[in-house]
Amino acid sequence: MTSARDSRFIQALRARVRGEVRESEPLARHSTYRIGGPASVLLPGSAEDVGLALALAAEQGTPWFALGLGSNLLLPDEGLDALVIRLGKGLDRCDDLGQGRWRLGAGLPQPLAARRSAEAGFSGLHRFVGVPGTVGGGVYMNAGCHGGDWAGIVRQVTVVDPSGRDAILARDQIGFAYRGSGLGRRIVLEAEVELMPSDPPAIQAEVAELFRWRQEETPFNQPCCGSVFTNPGGPGRGKAGGVRTAGQLIDAAGLKGARQGGVEISRQHANYFVNLGGGTAADVRALIALARSTVRERFGVRLETEVKIVRPDGSFIPADQD
Ligand SMILES: Cc1cc2nc3c(=O)[nH]c(=O)nc-3n(C[C@H](O)[C@H](O)[C@H](O)COP(=O)(O)OP(=O)(O)OC[C@H]3O[C@@H](n4cnc5c(N)ncnc54)[C@H](O)[C@@H]3O)c2cc1C
Protein backbone atom coordinates (compact mmCIF):
# COMPACT_ATOMS: atom_id res chain seq x y z
CA MET A 1 0.00 0.00 0.00
CA THR A 2 1.41 3.43 -0.94
CA SER A 3 0.49 6.33 1.30
CA ALA A 4 -1.14 9.34 -0.38
CA ARG A 5 1.58 11.36 1.37
CA ASP A 6 4.36 9.45 -0.46
CA SER A 7 6.16 11.80 -2.87
CA ARG A 8 6.27 9.05 -5.56
CA PHE A 9 2.48 8.77 -5.41
CA ILE A 10 2.13 12.57 -5.69
CA GLN A 11 4.46 12.62 -8.71
CA ALA A 12 2.59 9.78 -10.44
CA LEU A 13 -0.71 11.57 -9.79
CA ARG A 14 0.58 14.88 -11.15
CA ALA A 15 1.73 13.09 -14.29
CA ARG A 16 -1.79 11.72 -14.91
CA VAL A 17 -4.20 14.53 -14.09
CA ARG A 18 -4.84 18.04 -15.40
CA GLY A 19 -6.01 19.35 -12.01
CA GLU A 20 -3.89 20.62 -9.13
CA VAL A 21 -2.37 18.30 -6.51
CA ARG A 22 -1.56 19.92 -3.16
CA GLU A 23 0.70 18.32 -0.56
CA SER A 24 0.13 18.80 3.18
CA GLU A 25 -2.89 20.94 2.42
CA PRO A 26 -4.72 21.96 5.64
CA LEU A 27 -8.18 20.39 5.40
CA ALA A 28 -9.49 23.24 7.55
CA ARG A 29 -9.47 25.21 4.26
CA HIS A 30 -11.96 22.72 2.86
CA SER A 31 -14.39 22.40 5.75
CA THR A 32 -17.15 24.79 6.80
CA TYR A 33 -16.10 24.10 10.42
CA ARG A 34 -12.60 25.40 9.53
CA ILE A 35 -11.28 22.27 11.24
CA GLY A 36 -8.99 19.51 9.92
CA GLY A 37 -5.26 18.73 9.66
CA PRO A 38 -3.12 18.15 6.55
CA ALA A 39 -3.61 15.76 3.63
CA SER A 40 -2.73 15.29 -0.03
CA VAL A 41 -5.53 16.97 -1.95
CA LEU A 42 -6.47 16.67 -5.62
CA LEU A 43 -8.55 19.49 -7.09
CA PRO A 44 -9.73 17.68 -10.26
CA GLY A 45 -9.79 19.76 -13.42
CA SER A 46 -12.47 17.55 -14.99
CA ALA A 47 -14.58 14.45 -14.41
CA GLU A 48 -11.91 12.46 -16.22
CA ASP A 49 -9.34 13.42 -13.56
CA VAL A 50 -11.46 11.74 -10.90
CA GLY A 51 -11.44 8.41 -12.76
CA LEU A 52 -7.69 8.67 -13.44
CA ALA A 53 -6.96 9.38 -9.76
CA LEU A 54 -9.11 6.46 -8.62
CA ALA A 55 -7.43 4.12 -11.09
CA LEU A 56 -3.99 5.16 -9.78
CA ALA A 57 -5.15 4.78 -6.17
CA ALA A 58 -6.47 1.29 -7.00
CA GLU A 59 -3.15 0.29 -8.65
CA GLN A 60 -1.14 1.49 -5.64
CA GLY A 61 -3.57 0.43 -2.92
CA THR A 62 -3.83 4.07 -1.78
CA PRO A 63 -6.89 5.04 0.28
CA TRP A 64 -8.96 7.98 -0.98
CA PHE A 65 -11.70 10.21 0.35
CA ALA A 66 -14.33 12.15 -1.66
CA LEU A 67 -14.85 15.70 -0.42
CA GLY A 68 -17.37 18.33 -1.50
CA LEU A 69 -17.58 21.57 0.48
CA GLY A 70 -16.92 19.74 3.76
CA SER A 71 -20.17 21.13 5.16
CA ASN A 72 -21.34 17.89 6.74
CA LEU A 73 -18.03 16.58 7.99
CA LEU A 74 -15.87 16.75 11.09
CA LEU A 75 -12.39 16.17 9.71
CA PRO A 76 -9.66 14.90 12.06
CA ASP A 77 -7.14 17.23 13.71
CA GLU A 78 -4.39 14.79 12.61
CA GLY A 79 -5.41 15.19 8.96
CA LEU A 80 -6.10 12.29 6.61
CA ASP A 81 -3.78 9.56 5.39
CA ALA A 82 -5.79 9.25 2.19
CA LEU A 83 -5.92 11.07 -1.13
CA VAL A 84 -8.62 13.71 -0.72
CA ILE A 85 -10.47 14.27 -4.00
CA ARG A 86 -12.08 17.69 -3.57
CA LEU A 87 -14.84 18.15 -6.16
CA GLY A 88 -15.46 21.78 -7.03
CA LYS A 89 -14.52 23.96 -10.02
CA GLY A 90 -13.94 21.89 -13.14
CA LEU A 91 -17.02 19.81 -12.29
CA ASP A 92 -19.45 22.68 -11.83
CA ARG A 93 -21.63 22.65 -14.95
CA CYS A 94 -25.21 23.88 -14.64
CA ASP A 95 -27.03 23.09 -17.90
CA ASP A 96 -30.71 23.75 -18.55
CA LEU A 97 -31.68 20.81 -20.81
CA GLY A 98 -35.23 22.07 -21.34
CA GLN A 99 -38.59 20.79 -20.08
CA GLY A 100 -37.52 21.13 -16.45
CA ARG A 101 -34.46 18.91 -16.78
CA TRP A 102 -31.10 20.17 -15.57
CA ARG A 103 -27.67 18.59 -15.66
CA LEU A 104 -25.53 19.62 -12.68
CA GLY A 105 -21.86 18.96 -12.04
CA ALA A 106 -21.01 17.36 -8.69
CA GLY A 107 -18.82 20.31 -7.72
CA LEU A 108 -21.52 22.96 -8.28
CA PRO A 109 -22.56 24.68 -5.02
CA GLN A 110 -26.17 23.82 -4.15
CA PRO A 111 -27.08 27.48 -3.42
CA LEU A 112 -25.96 28.44 -6.94
CA ALA A 113 -28.02 25.62 -8.49
CA ALA A 114 -30.96 26.79 -6.36
CA ARG A 115 -30.71 30.41 -7.50
CA ARG A 116 -30.11 29.69 -11.20
CA SER A 117 -33.02 27.26 -11.51
CA ALA A 118 -35.33 29.60 -9.56
CA GLU A 119 -34.36 32.55 -11.80
CA ALA A 120 -35.32 30.39 -14.80
CA GLY A 121 -38.71 29.72 -13.15
CA PHE A 122 -38.29 26.20 -11.76
CA SER A 123 -38.90 24.89 -8.26
CA GLY A 124 -37.49 21.85 -6.47
CA LEU A 125 -33.86 22.90 -6.17
CA HIS A 126 -34.78 26.32 -4.79
CA ARG A 127 -35.07 25.00 -1.21
CA PHE A 128 -31.28 24.40 -1.11
CA VAL A 129 -30.49 28.10 -1.28
CA GLY A 130 -29.24 28.02 2.33
CA VAL A 131 -27.59 24.58 2.30
CA PRO A 132 -23.95 25.31 1.60
CA GLY A 133 -22.75 22.02 0.09
CA THR A 134 -22.06 20.78 -3.43
CA VAL A 135 -24.46 18.90 -5.69
CA GLY A 136 -22.37 15.70 -5.24
CA GLY A 137 -22.43 15.97 -1.45
CA GLY A 138 -26.15 16.77 -1.55
CA VAL A 139 -26.95 13.67 -3.61
CA TYR A 140 -24.63 11.43 -1.59
CA MET A 141 -26.13 12.64 1.71
CA ASN A 142 -29.65 13.04 0.28
CA ALA A 143 -29.60 16.51 1.83
CA GLY A 144 -33.03 17.92 2.49
CA CYS A 145 -34.91 20.79 4.07
CA HIS A 146 -38.21 22.67 3.99
CA GLY A 147 -40.18 19.55 2.97
CA GLY A 148 -38.00 18.19 0.16
CA ASP A 149 -34.75 16.38 -0.54
CA TRP A 150 -32.53 15.34 -3.47
CA ALA A 151 -34.34 12.00 -3.75
CA GLY A 152 -37.42 13.97 -4.79
CA ILE A 153 -35.79 15.59 -7.85
CA VAL A 154 -33.00 13.31 -9.12
CA ARG A 155 -33.62 11.38 -12.36
CA GLN A 156 -30.18 9.83 -12.69
CA VAL A 157 -26.56 10.29 -11.61
CA THR A 158 -23.22 9.66 -13.28
CA VAL A 159 -20.80 8.00 -10.89
CA VAL A 160 -17.30 6.58 -11.03
CA ASP A 161 -16.44 3.39 -9.16
CA PRO A 162 -13.23 2.71 -7.20
CA SER A 163 -11.54 1.16 -10.25
CA GLY A 164 -12.11 4.41 -12.21
CA ARG A 165 -15.03 3.23 -14.38
CA ASP A 166 -18.06 5.48 -15.04
CA ALA A 167 -21.67 4.35 -14.83
CA ILE A 168 -25.09 6.00 -15.03
CA LEU A 169 -27.49 5.06 -12.25
CA ALA A 170 -31.24 5.68 -12.49
CA ARG A 171 -32.96 7.13 -9.44
CA ASP A 172 -34.12 3.77 -8.07
CA GLN A 173 -30.56 2.39 -8.24
CA ILE A 174 -29.22 5.10 -5.92
CA GLY A 175 -30.68 3.69 -2.71
CA PHE A 176 -31.81 7.04 -1.29
CA ALA A 177 -32.60 7.04 2.45
CA TYR A 178 -33.13 9.73 5.11
CA ARG A 179 -29.89 11.76 4.92
CA GLY A 180 -28.09 9.05 3.03
CA SER A 181 -27.82 6.97 -0.14
CA GLY A 182 -26.56 3.55 -1.13
CA LEU A 183 -23.75 4.99 -3.28
CA GLY A 184 -21.08 3.59 -0.95
CA ARG A 185 -17.59 3.83 -2.48
CA ARG A 186 -18.73 5.55 -5.68
CA ILE A 187 -18.06 9.20 -6.48
CA VAL A 188 -20.84 11.30 -7.98
CA LEU A 189 -19.67 13.20 -11.09
CA GLU A 190 -22.97 14.76 -12.13
CA ALA A 191 -26.68 14.58 -11.50
CA GLU A 192 -29.66 15.08 -13.79
CA VAL A 193 -32.70 16.48 -12.01
CA GLU A 194 -36.30 17.13 -13.00
CA LEU A 195 -37.84 20.36 -11.70
CA MET A 196 -41.35 21.80 -11.67
CA PRO A 197 -42.18 24.88 -13.77
CA SER A 198 -43.20 27.73 -11.45
CA ASP A 199 -44.05 31.38 -11.59
CA PRO A 200 -40.58 33.08 -11.57
CA PRO A 201 -41.47 36.01 -9.23
CA ALA A 202 -43.23 33.63 -6.80
CA ILE A 203 -40.38 31.13 -6.67
CA GLN A 204 -37.79 33.90 -6.32
CA ALA A 205 -39.80 35.39 -3.43
CA GLU A 206 -39.74 31.95 -1.77
CA VAL A 207 -35.97 31.72 -2.27
CA ALA A 208 -35.55 35.15 -0.64
CA GLU A 209 -37.76 34.09 2.29
CA LEU A 210 -35.88 30.79 2.83
CA PHE A 211 -32.57 32.64 2.73
CA ARG A 212 -33.85 35.23 5.22
CA TRP A 213 -34.90 32.37 7.57
CA ARG A 214 -31.41 30.82 7.35
CA GLN A 215 -29.74 34.12 8.13
CA GLU A 216 -32.02 35.07 11.02
CA GLU A 217 -32.71 31.71 12.67
CA THR A 218 -29.39 29.86 12.30
CA PRO A 219 -25.75 30.85 12.88
CA PHE A 220 -25.42 30.93 9.11
CA ASN A 221 -22.25 32.97 8.87
CA GLN A 222 -20.28 31.22 11.60
CA PRO A 223 -18.05 28.20 10.91
CA CYS A 224 -20.23 25.14 11.54
CA CYS A 225 -21.62 22.04 9.82
CA GLY A 226 -25.35 22.73 10.10
CA SER A 227 -27.24 20.22 12.25
CA VAL A 228 -24.95 18.12 14.43
CA PHE A 229 -27.63 15.51 15.26
CA THR A 230 -30.53 14.06 13.27
CA ASN A 231 -33.98 14.61 14.74
CA PRO A 232 -34.93 11.61 16.91
CA GLY A 233 -38.38 11.33 15.36
CA GLY A 234 -37.17 11.76 11.76
CA PRO A 235 -37.36 14.75 9.41
CA GLY A 236 -39.29 17.78 10.63
CA ARG A 237 -40.50 16.13 13.85
CA GLY A 238 -41.19 18.46 16.73
CA LYS A 239 -42.53 21.43 14.82
CA ALA A 240 -46.17 20.71 15.64
CA GLY A 241 -45.59 19.39 19.17
CA GLY A 242 -45.03 15.68 19.85
CA VAL A 243 -41.45 14.42 19.61
CA ARG A 244 -38.98 17.21 20.11
CA THR A 245 -36.21 18.04 17.64
CA ALA A 246 -32.57 17.47 18.57
CA GLY A 247 -32.17 21.25 18.92
CA GLN A 248 -35.16 21.53 21.28
CA LEU A 249 -33.83 18.67 23.45
CA ILE A 250 -30.32 20.18 23.71
CA ASP A 251 -31.87 23.57 24.49
CA ALA A 252 -34.20 22.06 27.14
CA ALA A 253 -31.15 20.34 28.67
CA GLY A 254 -29.74 23.84 29.28
CA LEU A 255 -26.76 23.41 26.98
CA LYS A 256 -27.04 26.49 24.74
CA GLY A 257 -23.77 28.38 25.09
CA ALA A 258 -21.86 25.38 26.53
CA ARG A 259 -18.26 25.69 25.45
CA GLN A 260 -15.26 23.42 24.95
CA GLY A 261 -12.01 25.01 23.77
CA GLY A 262 -12.85 27.08 20.69
CA VAL A 263 -16.27 25.51 20.03
CA GLU A 264 -19.66 26.52 21.42
CA ILE A 265 -23.18 25.06 21.26
CA SER A 266 -24.83 27.93 19.42
CA ARG A 267 -26.95 30.28 21.53
CA GLN A 268 -29.07 30.86 18.43
CA HIS A 269 -29.81 27.22 17.48
CA ALA A 270 -28.78 24.43 19.86
CA ASN A 271 -28.29 21.79 17.14
CA TYR A 272 -25.54 23.93 15.57
CA PHE A 273 -22.10 23.88 17.19
CA VAL A 274 -19.95 26.82 16.08
CA ASN A 275 -16.19 27.25 15.87
CA LEU A 276 -15.47 30.58 17.55
CA GLY A 277 -11.84 30.42 16.44
CA GLY A 278 -9.11 27.86 17.07
CA GLY A 279 -11.65 25.08 17.64
CA THR A 280 -10.57 21.48 17.08
CA ALA A 281 -12.28 18.22 16.15
CA ALA A 282 -11.57 17.07 19.72
CA ASP A 283 -13.51 20.11 21.03
CA VAL A 284 -16.52 19.31 18.82
CA ARG A 285 -16.43 15.64 19.82
CA ALA A 286 -16.34 16.56 23.52
CA LEU A 287 -19.47 18.71 23.04
CA ILE A 288 -21.17 15.91 21.08
CA ALA A 289 -20.49 13.54 24.01
CA LEU A 290 -21.77 16.15 26.49
CA ALA A 291 -25.00 16.83 24.54
CA ARG A 292 -25.64 13.13 24.02
CA SER A 293 -25.11 12.10 27.66
CA THR A 294 -27.09 15.06 29.07
CA VAL A 295 -30.07 14.55 26.74
CA ARG A 296 -30.07 10.84 27.48
CA GLU A 297 -30.01 11.39 31.26
CA ARG A 298 -32.68 14.10 31.17
CA PHE A 299 -35.06 12.76 28.52
CA GLY A 300 -34.07 9.13 27.83
CA VAL A 301 -33.43 9.97 24.15
CA ARG A 302 -30.29 8.76 22.38
CA LEU A 303 -29.13 11.29 19.79
CA GLU A 304 -27.41 10.19 16.59
CA THR A 305 -25.01 12.40 14.66
CA GLU A 306 -25.91 13.86 11.26
CA VAL A 307 -22.40 15.27 10.89
CA LYS A 308 -20.05 12.54 9.71
CA ILE A 309 -17.07 12.20 12.05
CA VAL A 310 -14.00 11.12 10.09
CA ARG A 311 -11.10 9.07 11.46
CA PRO A 312 -7.50 9.78 10.28
CA ASP A 313 -7.70 6.73 7.96
CA GLY A 314 -10.79 8.18 6.23
CA SER A 315 -13.32 5.81 7.80
CA PHE A 316 -16.35 7.13 9.70
CA ILE A 317 -17.30 6.84 13.36
CA PRO A 318 -20.82 5.29 13.56
CA ALA A 319 -23.61 7.83 14.10
CA ASP A 320 -24.48 6.44 17.55
CA GLN A 321 -20.90 6.71 18.89
CA ASP A 322 -19.08 9.78 20.29
C1 LIG B 1 -25.01 26.31 7.70
C2 LIG B 1 -25.34 24.90 7.24
C3 LIG B 1 -26.65 24.53 7.03
C4 LIG B 1 -26.97 23.23 6.60
N5 LIG B 1 -28.29 22.90 6.42
C6 LIG B 1 -28.60 21.66 5.98
C7 LIG B 1 -29.98 21.31 5.73
O8 LIG B 1 -30.90 22.10 5.91
N9 LIG B 1 -30.25 20.05 5.30
C10 LIG B 1 -29.25 19.13 5.08
O11 LIG B 1 -29.56 18.00 4.66
N12 LIG B 1 -27.95 19.44 5.32
C13 LIG B 1 -27.60 20.67 5.75
N14 LIG B 1 -26.29 20.99 5.99
C15 LIG B 1 -25.25 19.96 5.81
C16 LIG B 1 -24.60 19.94 4.43
O17 LIG B 1 -24.61 21.23 3.84
C18 LIG B 1 -25.24 18.95 3.46
O19 LIG B 1 -25.23 17.63 3.97
C20 LIG B 1 -24.50 18.99 2.12
O21 LIG B 1 -25.29 18.41 1.14
C22 LIG B 1 -23.15 18.30 2.13
O23 LIG B 1 -22.50 18.61 0.91
P24 LIG B 1 -20.92 18.80 0.85
O25 LIG B 1 -20.58 19.02 -0.57
O26 LIG B 1 -20.47 19.82 1.81
O27 LIG B 1 -20.45 17.34 1.31
P28 LIG B 1 -19.24 16.99 2.29
O29 LIG B 1 -19.54 17.50 3.66
O30 LIG B 1 -17.97 17.39 1.67
O31 LIG B 1 -19.34 15.40 2.29
C32 LIG B 1 -20.44 14.74 2.91
C33 LIG B 1 -20.39 13.26 2.51
O34 LIG B 1 -20.61 13.15 1.11
C35 LIG B 1 -19.50 12.53 0.47
N36 LIG B 1 -19.33 13.22 -0.81
C37 LIG B 1 -19.17 14.55 -1.02
N38 LIG B 1 -19.13 14.79 -2.35
C39 LIG B 1 -19.26 13.58 -2.97
C40 LIG B 1 -19.28 13.16 -4.32
N41 LIG B 1 -19.19 14.02 -5.34
N42 LIG B 1 -19.43 11.83 -4.58
C43 LIG B 1 -19.55 10.93 -3.56
N44 LIG B 1 -19.50 11.27 -2.27
C45 LIG B 1 -19.38 12.58 -1.98
C46 LIG B 1 -18.33 12.69 1.43
O47 LIG B 1 -17.37 11.65 1.26
C48 LIG B 1 -19.03 12.59 2.77
O49 LIG B 1 -19.27 11.23 3.08
C50 LIG B 1 -25.95 22.28 6.40
C51 LIG B 1 -24.61 22.67 6.60
C52 LIG B 1 -24.31 23.96 7.01
C53 LIG B 1 -22.86 24.35 7.19
- Closest C-alpha residue for ligand 1 atom 12: 143
Question: What is the arithmetic mean of pLDDT over 294-319?
Answer: 96
Q: Is the distance from the beta carbon of residue 27 to the nearest atom of ligand 1 less than 6 Å?
A: no
Q: Which of 214, 227, 244, 292 is catalytic?
A: 227
Q: What string of H, E and C letters represents the secondary structure of the chain?
A: CCCCCCHHHHHHHHHHCCCEEEEEEEHHHHCCCCCCCEEEEEECCCHHHHHHHHHHHHHHCCCEEEECCCCCEECCCCCCCCEEEECECECCCEEEEECCEEEEECCCEHHHHHHHHHHCCEECCHHHHHCCCEHHHHHHHCCEECCEEHHHCEEEEEEECCCCCEEEEEHHHCCCECCECCCCCCEEEEEEEECEECCHHHHHHHHHHHHHHHHHHCCCCCCCCCCCECCCCCCCCECCECCCCHHHHHHHCCCCCCEECCEEECCCCCCCEEECCCCCHHHHHHHHHHHHHHHHHHHCCCCCECCEEECCCCCECCCCCC
Instruction: Assess whether pLDDT exceeds 70 at residue 242.
Output: no
Is 83 in contact with 62 (CB distance < 8 Å)?
yes
Angle at which helices 47-60 and 7-16 cross, to 10°: 140
pLDDT in tens, 9-64: 999 999 999 999 999 999 999 999 999 999 999 999 999 999 999 999 999 999 99
Phi-psi region of 105 (alpha: psi -120 to 50; beta: other; left: phi over 0): beta
Active site residue 227: yes
Q: Is the distance from the beta carbon of residue 187 to the nearest atom of ligand 1 less than 6 Å?
A: yes
- CA 58, distance to chain mean position in Å, is 24
pLDDT in tens, 167-190: 999 999 999 998 999 999 999 999
Cα(272) to centroid(ligand 1), Å = 15
Active site residue 179: yes
The CA distance from 71 to 228, in Å, is: 11
Q: What is the pLDDT of residue 27?
A: 98
Which atom, in ligand 1's list, is nearest to the CA of 186? 43
Q: Is the distance from the beta carbon of residue 213 to the nearest atom of ligand 1 less than 6 Å?
A: no
Which candidate, 15, 16, 34, places its Cα nearest to that of 26?
Answer: 34
Q: Is the distance from the beta carbon of residue 106 to the nearest atom of ligand 1 less than 6 Å?
A: yes
Which residue among 69, 131, 183, 268 has the greatest number of ligand 1 atoms within 8 angstroms of its CB, and so is best to mutate? 131
Q: Chain-wide mean pLDDT for the chain?
A: 95
Question: What is the arithmetic mean of pLDDT over 98-125?
Answer: 96
The CA distance from 138 to 132, in Å, is: 9
Instruction: Assess whether pLDDT exceeds 90 at residue 233.
Output: no
Instruction: Assess whether pLDDT exceeds 80 at residue 319.
Output: yes
Cα(136) to centroid(ligand 1), Å = 8
Q: Which of 25, 190, 264, 306 is catalytic?
A: 306
Instruction: Assess whether pLDDT exceeds 70 at residue 241.
Output: no
- Residue 123 burial (C-beta neighbours within 10 Å; 0-12, 13-18, 19+): buried
The CA distance from 157 to 181, in Å, is: 12
Q: Is the distance from the beta carbon of residue 220 to the nearest atom of ligand 1 less than 6 Å?
A: yes
Q: Which of 5, 34, 115, 179 is catalytic?
A: 179
pLDDT in tens, 260-301: 999 999 999 999 999 999 999 999 999 999 999 999 999 999
Phi, psi of 58 (to 5 degrees): -65, -45
Q: What is the pLDDT of residue 21?
A: 98
The CA distance from 41 to 85, in Å, is: 6
- Closest C-alpha residue for ligand 1 atom 41: 136
Task: Tell me the domains of the chain and their CATH numbers.
Answer: 7-86 (3.30.43.10), 94-204 (3.30.465.10), 219-309 (3.90.78.10)
Which candidate, 75, 71, 62, places its Cα nearest to that of 5?
Answer: 62
Which atom, in ligand 1's list, is nearest to the CA of 307? 15
pLDDT in tens, 125-180: 999 999 999 999 999 999 999 889 999 999 999 999 999 999 999 999 999 998 99
